[in-house]
Amino acid sequence: MKVYIDGKFYDEAKAKVSVFDHGLLYGDGIFEGIRAYHGRVFKLKEHIDRLYCSAKAILLTIPMTPAEMTKAVVATCRKNQITDGYIRLVVTRGVGTLGLNPNRCKNPSVIVIAGEIQLYPQELYERGMDIVTVATTRNLHNAVNPAIKSLNYLNNILAKIEANNAGVEEAIMLNADGYVAECTGDNIFIIKGNELHTPPLSAGALYGITRATALKLGHELGLKTGEPNLTRYDLYNADECFLTGTGAEIIPVVKIDGRVIGTGKPGPMSKQLIEKYHALTKVSGEPI
């Protein structure tokens, strides 16, 4: 594997960052997880746009234009002969001194890794997954805003630990008001009758790119889409439930906190959405 770091490619074993990089020391940086399908990088513009929004929010000046960043991602895929895979795009604050001050970091660092990922076992896509609600509260907007896709993922990791301890793959995180925010790495959706709902971004949900795609596809299927505040009661009584994410794609949920959702099997509308999503990945994206 060849890893892109600040304009050059390095062998995997030699791809390194300084121990004084503030991305390592303080989680001071941002990232994107991106997928490639059939020789195209899916939704690359949307991922690049979100990366620069995250950078602006933390006053991080990316030392490349969006066009240059796009070329770097595609070049890394080409260098690694990736046609179907996963790309991790990272921008750190760069090397600095010990201490929090970001002004001590003069040169932000750009890293692109192109490889493979399988977030969940294949059988979970076929039979659906069980998830639980955990005690760890989603970050507040005026603390670490969930819209910022930062390198500091401890909030999500703590919730993931609770999921692991409960013997499941994913966990639902509530916000400080008790409303459903999102899962540790995915957005969450429910279907009730002819309505497709997902928590609003104001509840603490990430500006998910697959989330936006699912809403669009749901509308095309004739579902009435909405983003109301959701409680666990709403989830328990849904006809169908699924999660979305770049790594996860669209994966059905059949049990939440021990409550069976719908029939206890992936629902018909969820299956249609998955089919439409996979069809879209075959024809859309930045050519490699």
Pairing type for strands 195-197 and 224-226 reads parallel
Give the predicted TM-score (pTM) of the model.
0.96
Residue-level length of the chain = 288
Q: Is the pLDDT of residue 246 over 90?
A: yes
Query: What is the rounded CA–CA span in Å between residue 170 and residue 269?
Result: 21
- CB neighbour burial string for 182-191, b if at least 16 within 10 angstroms, e if fewer: bbbbbbbbbb
Q: Is the pLDDT of residue 258 over 90?
A: yes
Residue 27 — pLDDT band, cuts 50, 70, 90? very high
pLDDT (tens digit per residue) in 85-113: 999 999 999 999 999 999 999 999 999 99
Q: Is the pLDDT of residue 84 over 90?
A: yes
pLDDT (tens digit per residue) in 142-166: 999 999 999 999 999 999 999 999 9
Q: Say if residues 111 and 5 touch (Cβ distance below 8 Å).
A: yes
The domain made up of 122-281 is a member of CATH 3.20.10.10: yes
pLDDT at residue 118, as a whole number = 80
Query: What is the rounded CA–CA span in Å between residue 96 and residue 120?
Result: 37
Residue 117 — pLDDT band, cuts 50, 70, 90? confident
Q: Say if residues 3 and 9 touch (Cβ distance below 8 Å).
A: yes
What are the φ and ψ backbone dihedral angles of 269, each rounded to 5 degrees?
Answer: -70, -35
pLDDT (tens digit per residue) in 29-54: 999 999 999 999 999 999 999 999 99
What's the one-letter identity of residue 189?
F
The CATH classification number of 2-115 equals: 3.30.470.10
pLDDT at residue 119, as a whole number = 80
Q: Examine the residue annotation and report whether 149 is marked as an active-site residue of this protein.
A: yes
What's the average model confidence in pLDDT over 257-283?
A: 97
pLDDT at residue 1, as a whole number = 94
Domain spans of the chain, in order of start: 2-115, 122-281
What's the average model confidence in pLDDT over 110-136?
A: 94
Rg (CA), the chain: 19
pLDDT (tens digit per residue) in 171-200: 999 999 999 999 999 999 999 999 999 999
Residue 225 — pLDDT band, cuts 50, 70, 90? very high
Q: Select which of 2, 43, 149, 160 is catalytic.
A: 149
